[in-house]
Homo-oligomer: A and B are copies of this chain.
Amino acid sequence: MVRKEQLRPGGRSARVQASVHQAVRALLARHDRAEITFPMIATEAGVTPSTLYRRWGELSELLADVAVERLRPDTPPTDTGTLRGDLEAWAEQIADEYASTPGQAMLRDVLAANASGEQAFQCCVYLREALDTLTLRAQLRGEFSPGTESLIDGVMAPIIYRILFLGARPDEAHVKALVSKALHGLA
């Protein structure tokens, strides 16, 4: 997987990126996703199409970049006082966001056949960072946590699998059962 150059915040390249991302979000709000093209985005962003081709190569790569940026969490997961409560609240929030119509479109853009795979990886990094936060909180409270990888497998993977392949999130009882099973025997 080729990592893109890190952008200097405020630099020219970062300003172009911000303007292009904003143009894509604006176009997605007004048009069907399949209608959007590099020339339309270039006009909306006030850059040349060749800037887009040079930087992103393919439309799917740019759409995946915009999607993963929108999937970045705005706030840390709520602190409810227990690991079980934190996990339930956070899993419910992710399930709601990812199962929404825009959420499903973003997930599919992130996983698009022609994208580099780097956005899908980044999407998983966001989930891991949140689970690391919950694990650290649990340790500070003296609670035992099964750890981030077990929680990815036991809670996040089933929720996201069901959204992707069945188009629907597991209900609240199902999410609670996943959390219980992931914490099972770890009192």
Contacts and interface: CB of A to CB of B under 8 A. Distances in A.
Interface string A144-187: 00000000111011101110111100000000001001001100
Contacts of A165: 111, 120-121, 123-124
**In the assembly, how many copies of this chain are there?**
2
Nearest to A104: B117
Contacts of A109: 113
A117 B58 contact: no
Sorting the interface of chain A by its residue count into under 10, 10 to 19, 20 to 34 or 35 or more gives: 20 to 34
Given A105-B113, A111-B111, 16 more contacts: A1-B167, A34-B58, A108-B111, A109-B113, A120-B165, A120-B166, A121-B167, A153-B178, A154-B158, A156-B161, A157-B158, A157-B160, A157-B161, A158-B158, A161-B161, A184-B185
